[in-house]
Amino acid sequence: MLSFGILGGTFDPVHFGHLRLAEDAYEALNLTKVILLPVGHPAHRKNPVVDAESRLKMVQLATGSNPYFIVDDSEIYQPQKNNTDIFHHNNKVFLPTREIVKHTNYTIDSIKLLGHRIKEKYSKHFCSLVWIIGADAFLNLDTWHDWKELFNYCHFAVAMRPNYDLALTKMSTELGQQWCHRLTHLQDFKTGKIKETSGKIIPFTMTQLDISATNIRERLKNNLSIRYLTPESVYIYINNNGLYK
Ligand code: ATP
């Protein structure tokens, strides 16, 4: 079975914590590809500081050289209404023009869309989607729109993150129930014992990097260095564009 990881985030800005999370998930879960999905307008947290196009650009710069990372911009751009067809003219292909998404993004919609696209592309294979998530974000999963329905479309791979204890006592009753019901050993997933294409919660350990976008933004505001917290290309992009000042 092919398994596609999805790492959604504000990436405001992207940093080595995100990249290691994606890389560790790829390796630990034996994933086919990891899709990085920058959100345009998140539903369950306040709006990002920097505009969606710049955050997308930084994720593209950070991941460009990795052959198994894909950056998906479907939460940021959508085909313009009344202009959704691909057409050919003078041996050239014209793609539908696109516009910036202005509405709130819901993970449930994005996961359905990605699932649909992946099925179309890899129709010969059995595919599963794995939403990759840090422990901090997982503890708030029950605040997401239609969160229980997500289990019908993907598994959750939950990474241990510094300072975030994944104890049952930290979860709401409902989230704790889902955790107990769906908890699956990494090894069972990795070795293909799990035949279901969604609905499991798979904890895994990752390289511990105590880096957060909040801390990076604070450092920039205070004119402190952010070098080596994020790839050089992102560091240069932030400097050149005077972001987060
Ligand atoms: P902020 O500080 O603005 O809240 P963040 O650095 O936590 O941002 P997000 O874009 O909100 O980043 O996170 C996207 C995903 O990456 C989440 O699942 C989050 O748990 C995870 N993540 C972020 N930083 C790390 C890290 N250092 N180690 C592991 N996971 C991380």
Burial of 216 (0-12, 13-18, 19+ CB in 10 A): buried
Extract the tokens encoding 16. 């080595």
- Ligand 1 atom closest to the CA of 206, numbered from 1: 29
Q: What's at 163, amino acid-wise? A: N
Pairing verdict, β 98-100 and 77-79: antiparallel
Pairing verdict, β 127-134 and 98-100: unpaired
- Ligand 1 atom closest to the CA of 210, numbered from 1: 27
Pairing verdict, β 201-204 and 98-100: unpaired
Burial of 240 (0-12, 13-18, 19+ CB in 10 A): exposed
Ligand 1 geometric centre to CA of 9 (Å): 7
- Ligand 1 atom closest to the CA of 212, numbered from 1: 6
Please tell me the least confidently modeled range out of 98-107, 117-126, 230-239: 117-126
The answer to whether 17 and 79 have CB atoms below 8 angstroms apart is no
Name the average pLDDT for the chain.
92
| DSSP category for residue 171 | S
- Residue with the smallest CA separation from ligand 1 atom 19 is 134
List, chain by chain if needed, residues with CB within 6 Å of any ligand 1 atom.
9-12, 17-18, 21, 133-134, 136-137, 159, 161, 209, 211-214
The answer to whether 132 and 160 have CB atoms below 8 angstroms apart is no
Ligand 1 geometric centre to CA of 125 (Å): 31
Q: CA 66, 31, 2: angle at the middle one, nearest 5? A: 120
Q: What's at 35, amino acid-wise? A: I
- Ligand 1 atom closest to the CA of 211, numbered from 1: 27
Q: In which band, very low, low, confident or very high, does the pLDDT at 167 lie, cut at 50, 70 and 90? A: confident
Ligand 1 geometric centre to CA of 216 (Å): 12
Residue 146 pLDDT exceeds 80: yes
The answer to whether 48 and 8 have CB atoms below 8 angstroms apart is no
Adjacent-strand bridge partners of 6? 35, 131
Measured from the Cβ of residue 111, the count of other Cβ atoms closer than 10 Å reads: 21
Backbone angles phi, psi at 129, to 5 degrees: -110, 140
Ligand 1 geometric centre to CA of 80 (Å): 31
- Ligand 1 atom closest to the CA of 208, numbered from 1: 28
Cα–Cα distances in Å, from 215 out to 20, 40, 88, 189?
17, 21, 48, 34
Biggest CA pair distance of the chain: 64
Measured from the Cβ of residue 175, the count of other Cβ atoms closer than 10 Å reads: 20
Residue 10 pLDDT exceeds 90: yes
pLDDT tens digit sequence for 37-87: 999 999 877 889 999 999 999 999 999 989 999 999 999 998 887 666 666
